[in-house]
Chain A
Amino acid sequence: MSAPASLRSILFSPLLRQNPVTLQILGICSALAVTTSMETALTMSGALTVVLVMSAGLISVIRRHIPDSIRLIVQIVIVASLVIVIDQILQAYLFEISQRLSVFVSLITTNCLVLGRTESFSRHNPPLRSMVDALGNGLGYSLALTVIGSIRELFGAGSLLGWQVLPTVDQGGWFTPLNLMLLAPSAFFLLGGLVWAIRSVFPDQAEALEYLSPDDPEASQ
């Protein structure tokens, strides 16, 4: 964030190169839990992006008025209020999906991604740049969720967004659903694989070897 980057690069760099889920390790808590189907993944992505952009804008507007010592509490209260609004809207208009998301919409409050971006970017930048940065990160998060969600739904149930793509054996087709895909471990494996894929394309993101000087406490930082 040192050199003043153009709005375009602020928006697009979090999509792949600086993807919040695979590189910054932010927001994976919810990324895995809601990806059993594409529908929930998309709803969650939408909710998170809205909260992220709005909180980034609000916090950036009042950034000069927040005392440094209580900024975390101020930020959390702003985020929590926005999340309550989103949660109530989802319960009113998309009741079924909000039931399936259960507590995870509320948990956007403690999503590391929201606080991480407001803490590291919105606090130092004017509203427009903060909101563009938030939008980019939200879209990067959505991209990772959509990829994982579509793989899990396609191989776990043979469908995409509820449309039957691969005819399953139950319905007289040939595809046997992999039940493992709908369980918890597959989400970890898929995300690990996604990280591997992205880091193979961008080798500069690969982490350094840890065992060069194992006795040095600095080495494993």
Chain B
Amino acid sequence: MSELWALFLRAAFVENMPLTLFLGLCTFIALSRKTGSALGLGIAMVAVMGVTVPLNHLIYTAVLAPGAWAWAGLPQTDLSYLRLIAFIGVIAATVQMLEMVLDRFFPAIYASFGVFLPLLTVQCAILGGSLFMVERNYDLAESAVFGVGAGFGFAVAVVMLSAIRARLSYADLPQGLRGLGITFILAGMMSLGFAAFAQMVAS
């Protein structure tokens, strides 16, 4: 149990997706103007990553991994090069399903998500989570914890960044630094802060 907890902390803080691994930066920068939309994005990230990473793990071990077809007399078959297409398909389908479920049962939440739910299909952090899961050989429980933890870390980071940006919108910045420039520098400072978490979990 404590190992899973350590993995959660590691995925959420030590290897924070946007701030230390630079994944999902496009949405991280673009949707952090308002705290409300940032919170929606964060919740969507937790949901989508918590579902897709374990699902992709099942598909990878059952179909794509080297030797997965040994039971059918094909021990040499190695389909792992197809994992990109398989993972993207799973992510696109999950996002679509999440969208339909939310639309049907929670229309208020669906309306607040707006356009960026379908955009999650092409979010580097989600695909990256699944690829890291393969690279590090997580088992099913670990990949579920890793998915939720990484999504949670993204949510924390994007909400914090949006809060800082809201405070700074009244600041008198040099003209060229306004908007994108200062956001990068803020993200850099947050990244410095998150670097301190590296000592928290001995890996």
Contacts and interface: CB of A to CB of B under 8 A. Distances in A.
A33 B21 contact: yes
A109 B91 CA distance: 13
A133 B191 CA distance: 34
A115 B122 contact: yes
B92 A76 contact: yes
Contacts of B33: 220
Nearest to A208: B178
Q: B29, B126, B181, B192: which has the most chain A beta carbons within 10 Å? A: B181
Interface residues of B, number: 49
A200 B176 contact: yes
A176 interface: no
Contacts, number: 145
Contacts of A106: 84, 127, 131
A81 interface: yes
A107 B23 contact: yes
Interface string A65-101: 0000000110011001101100110000000000000
A65 B29 CA distance: 34
Interface string B87-127: 01000100000000000000000000000001001111011
Contact of A27 (B26, B82, B132, B180): B26
A27 B26 CA distance: 7
A206 interface: yes
A208 to B, nearest CB: 8
A76 B188 contact: no
B187 A77 contact: no
A32 B179 CA distance: 18
Contacts of B34: 220
A106 B23 CA distance: 12
Contacts of B21: 33, 184
A22 B176 CA distance: 12
B175 A32 contact: no
B88 A192 contact: no
Interface string B169-194: 11000111111111111011101100
A28 interface: yes
Contacts of A83: 84
A193 B176 CA distance: 10
A155 to B, nearest CB: 15
A203 interface: yes
A4 interface: no
B55 interface: no
B25 interface: yes
B151 interface: no
B58 interface: no
B127 A110 contact: yes
7 contacts: A76-B122, A103-B131, A112-B122, A185-B192, A196-B176, A199-B181, A210-B179
Closest 7 A-B residue pairs measured CB to CB? Answer: A188-B188, A192-B184, A207-B179, A199-B176, A192-B185, A33-B22, A103-B131
